[in-house]
Amino acid sequence: MAELKIPDPAAGRAALWLRLGAVLMAAGVALAAAAYAVSHGTRDPLLQRDAITLGLGGVTAAVAGSALFLRYSLTGFLRFWMARQSYDLARLADRLLEREARR
């Protein structure tokens, strides 16, 4: 990567979204578990419905966080993979041209 001198203009932003995804995953799971405990710990239907709503919000946050985390973790890997692929293809082309020039 250093030899290719490919800068990553949004490295800080990608790391922020990656951390936000991880936090949303953890917070969503914790919120859903807490809402489950509250909904089963009372007989008041109004409180149970509130807990169900919070639980659904927690599941939604966990799914959205998982998507963010997956997207930004794969982006970093695929960016490196694509740069490496480009570098390897350029070296292969150089070797083929050198071999043709020797003939």
Rounded-to-integer distance, Cα 55 and Cα 76, Å:
32
3-state SS assignment for residue 4: coil
Task: Give yes or no for a contact between 27 and 57, defined as CB atoms under 8 angstroms apart.
Answer: no
Mean pLDDT for the stretch of residues 49-76: 94
Domain boundaries, given as residue ranges, for the chain: 14-102
Residue 52 CB coordination number (10 Å): 14
Tokens 């998507």 locate to 67
Evaluate if residue 10 carries a pLDDT over 70.
no
pTM of the shown model: 0.69
Banded model confidence at residue 102, pLDDT cuts 50, 70, 90: confident
Structural element, H or E, at residue 68: helix 45-102
- The mean pLDDT value for 54-74 works out to 95
Question: Across the chain, what does the average pLDDT equal?
Answer: 88
